[in-house]
Structure 1
């Protein structure tokens, strides 16, 4: 009898803590969505403001159309004065990230495999007697990904790239030049097997 009572009390405490966490998460989401530069369709999932980051508590313009779905461990960084636009029915698998300092556009019905990363910037490199990488200065150029594209797992898309509609980027590619529409890009590394 005492064990049953103890278990009931423990379950009520757990439920109270879980409900409190859900309430705090919802409040944080509501505050995030109230910002005038944030336009995210109500169908977005998961409704977690911690996915979105900026710089010095400031975040750029975000427009996300209906049915955008993120799986777990995804991050979206949009610096102040940057612009992120995501079309309808876009899907990001686990561990994807967007790093937007300029402008990134993603067309409708585009899907991303696990671990895809988008960077519309590079650190500025000073050339002199020695190369020096600036930690707080960047060179930027927009990224545009068309409609109905499939971006394979662990692909990295760099600044200034446009990927045309209906294109497929194979797993593990580093895309640093634009890709025409209706194109399949694949990483053609040659694997060498040696027997000892």
Structure 2
């Protein structure tokens, strides 16, 4: 937590101190969870040591009463920005040492199986469908990114701002666009990122 190398106002310093105390009381392994913070389904969430959030983050898992299976697993030293929303009905896995900008949405579920639901059905009444979603280790996710049901972001990858990731991608790629596509890959022999063919 880099308090002393930032130029916080007194109000910001007080809010950070309050958040730090609340973090140590309710999430002892975390580094700093800034308030306000919203969590639903805490027994189904596994947070790695060093977890840190910005303001107004929302984490939710869905399951029946008594279900404590790990539906959301976040690795060590993951830092997420302001207003990140993560929703898990089946399984969302985020690896170690990931960094996310603000306004990121990650989910493994969606309202409405297009095989059984019709356009006349109210979206809230459509069956919830899910497919595991994963993000590897050492991933940087830019501002306003959506990582959708069944998607995979490989380890060592970068996801550009405003991308919509809706499928599986290999390790060490730069993704951009809506829907996301590979624009560069890391070449270990050259030691640099090269344009994708």
Task: Indicate the TM-score class for this superposition, using the shorter chain for normalisation.
Answer: 0.5 to 0.7
Tell whether the 8 Å contact from 1:64 to 1:86 is kept in structure 2 after alignment. yes
CA RMSD of aligned residues (A): 2.8
Is structure 2 residue 71 aligned with structure 1 residue 83? yes
Point out where structure 1 has 5 or more consecutive residues left out of the alignment.
1-17, 34-39, 190-196
Quote the residue 2:92 is aligned against.
Answer: 104
In 2, the alpha carbon distance for the partners of 1:185 and 1:43 equals 29
In 1, the alpha carbon distance for the partners of 2:81 and 2:33 equals 13
Tell whether the 8 Å contact from 1:84 to 1:104 is kept in structure 2 after alignment. yes
Which structure has the highest helix share of the two? Answer: 1
Quote the residue 1:143 is aligned against.
Answer: 133
Quote the residue 1:162 is aligned against.
Answer: 152
Tell whether the 8 Å contact from 2:92 to 2:108 is kept in structure 1 after alignment. yes
Tell whether the 8 Å contact from 1:101 to 1:140 is kept in structure 2 after alignment. yes
In 2, the alpha carbon distance for the partners of 1:75 and 1:91 equals 14
Quote the residue 2:54 is aligned against.
Answer: 71
Displacement after TM superposition at 1:132 (Å): 2.4
Larger Rg: 1
In 2, the alpha carbon distance for the partners of 1:140 and 1:67 equals 28
Instruction: Rate the CA distance shift 1:49–1:73 in 2: closer, same or farther, 3 A.
Output: closer
Tell whether the 8 Å contact from 2:37 to 2:57 is kept in structure 1 after alignment. no
Is structure 2 residue 39 aligned with structure 1 residue 52? yes
In 2, the alpha carbon distance for the partners of 1:84 and 1:188 equals 25
Instruction: Rate the CA distance shift 1:47–1:150 in 2: closer, same or farther, 3 A.
Output: closer
Quote the residue 1:14 is aligned against.
Answer: none
Point out where structure 2 has 5 or more consecutive residues left out of the alignment.
1-13, 180-197
In 1, the alpha carbon distance for the partners of 2:74 and 2:130 equals 19
Displacement after TM superposition at 1:51 (Å): 2.1
